Chain A
Amino acid sequence: MTVSATGVSKTVLETKFSELTQMPDARGHFGPYGGRFVSETLSFALEELEKTYLSLRDDPDFQAEFDYDLAHYVGRPSPLYHAKRWSESLGGAQIWLKREDLNHTGAHKVNNTIGQALLAKKTGKPRIIAETGAGQHGVASATVAARLGLECDVYMGAEDVERQKLNVYRMRLLGARVIPVESGTRTLKDAMNEALRDWVTNVDNTFYIIGTVAGPHPYPLLVRDFNSVVGREARRQSLEQIGRLPDALIACVGGGSNAMGLFYPFVEDDAVAMFGVEAGGDGVETGRHAAPLTTNAPRGVLHGNRTYLMSDEAGQVSDTHSISAGLDYPGVGPEHALWKDVGRVSYVAANDKEVLEAFRELTHMEGIMPALESAHALAHAKVLAPTMRPDQHIIVNLSGRGDKDIMTVAKIDGIEF
C-alpha cells in the first residue's frame, strides 16, 4: 500500500462506501488504520480473543443468547422518539432521538459490555477489568460482573473519579473496585494505559472489556458489532415510523462506539448523511479540545491501533480537554479514521458552551436530560436542523442519560449539595 505525505493511502481514496462493510481485513486493518500494536505478551490473548469471537460471530446460539440479554436485561429495543417540540422550535428538520439513555445502566455502553461478558464467560476467565472515563462503561462492566459473579476492577483517571463521583459510588455498590489513576493527564487515556498494564500482568485469568471501538484488533471489530444493534433498530424504526430512511444521522464521538453503532448499518445507504461530533472543549481554535478528526490531527499509534491522534511534533500524546469525561480522549477508533478519509462521515466539533446550551434546551423542551456526551450530538442537531426542511428527518443518538452529570452542571450554576 502506498501512503502519501498526508498519510492517506491510494487504496483508501478508491474505497467505495459499500466496501467499508468489509473492514477490517484479516489483520485488523481499516485501510492504513487499526492493527495490533501491542507488547508481545498480549499477542497471545488477542489472538485467542479473535479466535473465540470469530467462531461465535455467526453462531446462532451465541446470537440468540446475546439477543435475549439485550431484550430482557438491557430493555431493547430502545425507542425512536420524535422530539416534536424541540424540532418545531428549531424551525427545520424533524429530530428523532434514539433512546439509548433508556437502556439498563443508562447508556449505549451496556450493549457492548453484555456482548463481551458473554465472551468472557466462554473463555472461562474469572476476572474482568475495564477502563472508564465518564464511568458509564465502568458501571456497565461492574453490572455484568455482578450478574455473572466475576471479580471486577475498573481503572479510572483520578480527575474523572472526582468529576464522576456518582458513577464511582455506583460501581462500588455493584461490588467493583475502582482504581484511580494518577499518572499522565489523569483521564481516560491514562486509565487505558493502566488497564493494559494490569492485563499484561494478569493475562492468564483476566478478561479485558474495552469500552469503545479503539484498542488492538479485534476490539474495534467486536465493539462495533455489539453496538450495531443501535443502527439496525434505528433503520427498521425509521422505515416504520418515518416511512423511509432518515436524511441524516448524528452521534457524538469519543472513541466512537455509539456513533459506530448507529452509523454502521447505514454505511451503504449513500443518501443518508452522517455527522460525528467531537469534543470541542474551549473551542478547537484554542487547542484545548478532544477533537482529533475535526482538527486533522496527525496519524499516530496509541493503545494498540493506528489512528488520528492528538500529539505534539515529538510524538508525545497531547493533553485533552472536554466538559464530558467520556469524550476526553486524544484518539478515536480506527474505523472512524478511515470513514473520515473516504468522506463517508463528516466530523465536526461542538464546544463546551454549545453543549451546555443543548443540554438545557432538551431538558426544558422534551423533559429528557441527556448525558453531556450525547449533548454534543444534540448541539450539532441545533446547527444542522435549521438548514433543512420540515419534511426532512434527523436521527440523533441519545447515547446516555444525564444523571451522572448533574454535579457538573450544578457546579457551573453555582449550586452546592
Chain B
Amino acid sequence: MNRIDQRFSELKQQGRKALIPFITAGDPAPQYTVGFMHALVDAGADIIELGVPFSDPMADGPVIQKACERALKQGTRLIDLMQMVKEFRQADTNTPVVLMGYLNPIERIGYESFADQAADVGVDGVLIVDMPPEEADELGPLLKSRDLAAIFLVAPTTSNERAATICAHGHGYLYYVSLKGVTGAATLNADDVAEHLAPLRGMTDLPLCVGFGIRDGATAAEVAKVADGVIVGSALVNRIAESLDAPETIAGQLKSVLAEMRTAMDA
C-alpha cells in the first residue's frame, strides 16, 4: 500500500485530519531541506509536499516565487530533490513525501526516468500544477505502475463534470484550491470551501485536502472541520524568507508555526 493511503487510513481510524506542510526544496539552500523536513514531521506533519523550484512558477504568488529564485540561485535541481528524499528516508520511512512543481523539469529528465528515480528514492506522490488529467495520459500510467500517486487539483471554477473526470484520474488525495488566485493570496472563506467540497464527497472516496490561504492555527482548524487535510505553504515559506540572515533558526520556527496549527486542528 502506498504510504499516502496508509497515512489517511490511520488518520481516519484516529478521527484526525491530515496536516500537510509545503516547502520549496533548496530554500534558502539545499543543505537545509532534509533538516526542515524532519522538523516538520516533529511538529506534526502527516505528509510533506516538497516543492520543485521552477524558473516560471505561474500559479504561485510572490512568496513562493521568491523561494524558487533562492533555491535556483543555489543550483537546486530536480535530481537534487531525489537525493534529499533519499536522505530523508534514511531516518524516516513512514512519512509520505509528495513532489510538487511544474512539468518542464520533468519533461527534461524524461517521464520514464523521472518515475523510476522518484520510486527508487521513496517518493509517494506527484502533483504537477500545470498538468491537468487531460494531459497526463503519458505520465499517469508510468506513475501508477510504480505505485506513485498522481495528485490533481480541483478549483472553485471546476465544473462538476470536470471534477468527476479529475476524481477518476486522481490518487492519494484531491487538492482543493480554496480560492481563485495564486498561492499566498489573502482570504479563505471556510463556508465557501465547505460548499464546494460537498459535491466532491459524492464523487470520490479520495481524501479531500484544502490548500491556498491557510495562514495560522485558526484558519487551519476551521478548514479541518470540513476537509480531510489542510495544506500550508506560504505561511511557512514566509518564515524562511524572514530569517535569511539566520538560517540556523529556521527549522525551529517552522516547527513552532506548524505545531500551532496541529494543536488548533486537534483541539
Contacts and interface: CB of A to CB of B under 8 A. Distances in A.
Contact of B159 (A44, A203, A300, A309): A44
B6 interface: no
Interface in A8-53: 27, 35-45, 47
B180 A315 contact: no
Interface stretch (A164-172, A193-201, A372-380): A193-201
A163 interface: no
B105 A37 contact: no
A316 B54 contact: yes
Contacts of A304: 130
B59 A39 contact: yes
A184 B56 contact: yes
B132 A43 contact: yes
A42 B59 CA distance: 10
Interface stretch (B43-51, B106-114, B238-246): B106-114
B154 A300 contact: no
A80 interface: no
B134 A315 contact: no
Most buried by B among A200, A300, A314: A314
B153 A39 contact: yes
A38 B130 contact: yes
A35 B105 CA distance: 17
B182 A200 contact: yes
B263 interface: no
Contacts of B59: 39, 41, 197, 200
Contact of B56 (A41, A189, A201, A204): A189
Interface in B24-74: 54-59, 61, 65, 69, 72
A45 B61 CA distance: 20
Contacts of B153: 39-41
Contacts of B77: 313-314
A301 B157 contact: no
A292 B118 CA distance: 29
Contacts of B154: 40
A315 B105 contact: yes
A127 interface: no
B104 A317 contact: yes
A255 to B, nearest CB: 15
B121 interface: no
A124 B105 CA distance: 38
A40 B134 CA distance: 11
Given A183-B65, A200-B180, A301-B130, A40 B155 contact: yes
A299 B181 contact: no
B185 interface: yes
A contacts with B: majority SS:
mixed
B168 interface: no
Interface residues of B, number: 43
Nearest to B52: A315
Contacts of A189: 56
A316 B72 contact: yes
B177 interface: yes
A317 B55 contact: yes
B162 interface: yes
Interface in B136-192: 138, 152-159, 162, 166, 177, 180-182, 185
B218 interface: no
B20 interface: no
Contacts of B182: 197, 200-201
Interface in A182-214: 183-184, 189-190, 193, 196-197, 200-204
A52 B106 CA distance: 33
A232 interface: no
Contact of A36 (B106, B135, B157, B159): B135
Given A204-B180, A316-B54, A317-B55, A40 B72 contact: no
A178 interface: no
Interface in A307-359: 309, 311, 313-317
B76 to A, nearest CB: 8
Contact of B132 (A36, A193, A317): A36
Given A39-B129, A41-B180, A44-B162, A193 B108 contact: no
Contacts of B203: none
Given A37-B135, A41-B177, A201-B180, A315 B78 contact: yes
Contacts of A315: 54, 78, 104-109
B55 A43 contact: no
Interface in B72-125: 72, 77-79, 102-109
B194 interface: no
A301 B56 contact: no
Given A35-B135, A41-B157, A302 B108 contact: no
Given A200-B181, A201-B180, 17 more contacts: A39-B58, A39-B59, A40-B153, A41-B153, A44-B157, A47-B159, A189-B56, A196-B58, A203-B180, A301-B103, A303-B56, A309-B104, A311-B104, A311-B108, A314-B77, A316-B54, A316-B72
In the complex, the 10 A-B pairs of residues with the closest C-beta atoms, listed nearest first: A315-B105, A315-B108, A314-B77, A44-B157, A41-B155, A40-B153, A39-B59, A201-B181, A316-B55, A40-B155
Interface of A: 3, 27, 35-45, 47, 183-184, 189-190, 193, 196-197, 200-204, 298-304, 306, 309, 311, 313-317
Interface of B: 54-59, 61, 65, 69, 72, 77-79, 102-109, 129-132, 134-135, 138, 152-159, 162, 166, 177, 180-182, 185
22 contacts: A3-B138, A39-B58, A40-B152, A40-B166, A44-B157, A183-B69, A184-B55, A193-B56, A196-B58, A197-B182, A202-B180, A203-B157, A203-B180, A301-B130, A302-B104, A313-B77, A314-B78, A314-B79, A314-B105, A315-B78, A315-B104, A315-B107
